[in-house]
Homo-oligomer: A and B are copies of this chain.
């Protein structure tokens, strides 16, 4: 399906009354979560609370029109908010117009990048964020997010963005903690953590049906907001120094292009690219997981277009950058969202709240928002991932560990860049020294395996090397050196067979090396044969005259051996099959 075809036209035409009721209920549940979360993530991003609420209006309408996921809940999310704060904070002081301008341009630039990538069908670049890197990054980002909220939880001043900055700053200011704030935070945290698991059973005990109880339990955030706001108002806690949200402008955001600043935009290009990458990867992972549960499919390129346009919408309506968020998407899915219209309904409800409810949020304490953030990031932390990755492969474990440590110590952009860079370098290192096995025939079969792992039949006049990697510039010379060794160590050698079953590409550098190998073998009186060359590789090699000078070219390794050592091969083929693995191999 073309990326230019609106998904809206597909599901819109078949929209039914059941769709409507599912979507409306899901929208209501998501809205109840999104009002406090939007304000909390705006605070995390260093922006005024309305930036989070605005991020749940136009971007959601745009995603509903363009997106391909029926359950993804787009809007402000914690990791992107943290990255926005890190970038905007490196340009201007928090709370200044320069800071807010930077945040708007981050949304516009990362949105434009996603849109462009989607239109150019370059969604594959997101794959360069390997699983260990993204997983390590998100855990580290969760820790940094939690650390950044200590100030709101304790009512103290802290500074810095990385652990070596934040921790000393907390310790230096811990003496000034504000007890009413601490109590408020503690109550909020305890209630929110309990409500995640305990609220639904408690509601069932009160006589509600299981489904209704599960749905109502999602209102835990709302209860916390309501209770803490009431407490502040009744007890006059704001007059005792408790920080509150304060005035939120009533009404909808205006559509406006932020002031143009070429230097600012140039500076933001790289950080915005990283934010776009992380936002996209987070969103597509969630969308694909949810789609798989309903046997639907997600188009990565169309998702890029939809998220890109949604972020352009955010940047034009004084909103913070957005993407698909994990917790709200799961809630949306569980609450029965049927189509992207659920997102549009959410946007309308948030808009209504902005028109009517903002005065009610005046006394909402920052401590409650911080507690909401802390509880949200708990689900991001996965400390068992590191030992698991390390046990599977030291390279993957190292990539994850480096990403985590650099993120925590130097910052989010640096951590992400270090992780991606290290993954690429380690991949190149691995392929630059490919596994090459000398193989022989497994008795009783036409199959050929590693002489060091299986009891196989070989003859000293013929050496077969199975090259277990595509041949390309990083490893081209390696094979040359290896073949030279084989010539030197096997004086009886007459035929060298390169078994290409695992060679998926041969680039120009490798062709050059193969020609060098051919020349060296000729000088040494050894003939060169190829077997099991795959179609695409053979097509490519035929563009050069390399195959013309080969002594032999065989469809199968068995054909090669039957041509070079017919009696031995036939005898082995008809021998009783035992093929057991060698001891300890």
Contact = CB atoms under 8 A, between A and B. Distances in A.
Given A424-B428, A446-B446, A579-B555, A393 B474 contact: no
Interface stretch (A128-136, A143-151, A179-187, A314-322): A128-136
Interface string A474-510: 1111100000100000000000000001111101110
B435 A124 contact: no
Contacts of A446: 445-447
B127 A468 contact: no
A502 B501 contact: yes
A233 to B, nearest CB: 49
Interface in A382-400: 389, 391-393, 395-396
Given A392-B540, A392-B544, A540-B392, A128 B504 contact: no
A450 interface: yes
Contact of A508 (B393, B431, B450, B505): B393
A273 interface: no
Contacts of A543: 391-393
B432 A504 contact: no
A474 B505 contact: no
B131 A476 contact: yes
A508 B124 contact: no
A473 B507 CA distance: 21
A434 B504 contact: yes
B469 A131 contact: no
B393 A468 contact: no
B509 A473 contact: no
Contacts of A540: 392-393
A474 B124 contact: yes
Given A435-B504, A520-B292, A543-B391, A131 B509 contact: yes
Contacts of A442: 555
A470 B423 CA distance: 15
A478 B389 CA distance: 21
Contacts of A555: 442, 447, 449, 579
A427 interface: yes
A509 to B, nearest CB: 4
A505 B579 contact: no
A430 interface: yes
Contacts of A585: 535
Interface in A531-585: 534-536, 540, 543-544, 555-556, 558, 579, 585
A508 B468 contact: no
A169 interface: no
Nearest to A447: B556
Contact of A469 (B450, B504, B508, B512): B504
A507 B449 CA distance: 23
A194 interface: no
Given A501-B501, A544-B392, A473 B131 contact: yes
A453 interface: yes
A424 B579 CA distance: 41
Contacts of A505: 430
A433 interface: yes
Contact of A445 (B435, B556, B579): B556
- Most chain B Cβ neighbours within 10 Å, of A129, A432, A535, A556: A535
Contact of A127 (B133, B396, B477, B503): B477
A342 to B, nearest CB: 24
B453 A535 contact: yes
Nearest to A289: B516
Nearest to A477: B127
A130 B393 contact: no
B470 A469 contact: yes
A15 interface: no
A127 B534 CA distance: 25
A540 B501 CA distance: 20
Contact of A297 (B392, B395, B484, B535): B484
B536 A435 contact: yes
Given A392-B540, A540-B392, A131 B292 contact: no
Contacts of A267: none
A473 B130 contact: yes
A429 B124 contact: yes
Contacts of A501: 501-502
A33 interface: no
Nearest to A541: B392
A99 interface: no
22 contacts: A124-B432, A124-B478, A130-B473, A130-B508, A132-B508, A133-B473, A391-B543, A392-B508, A392-B544, A393-B507, A393-B508, A396-B507, A423-B473, A434-B504, A437-B535, A445-B446, A446-B446, A447-B556, A469-B470, A502-B503, A502-B504, A502-B534
Interface of A: 124, 127-133, 292, 297, 389, 391-393, 395-396, 423-424, 427-435, 437, 442, 445-447, 449-450, 453, 468-470, 472-478, 484, 501-505, 507-509, 511-512, 516, 520, 534-536, 540, 543-544, 555-556, 558, 579, 585
Given A393-B543, A501-B501, 14 more contacts: A124-B433, A128-B474, A129-B473, A389-B508, A392-B511, A392-B543, A393-B540, A396-B509, A424-B428, A446-B447, A447-B556, A450-B535, A502-B503, A535-B585
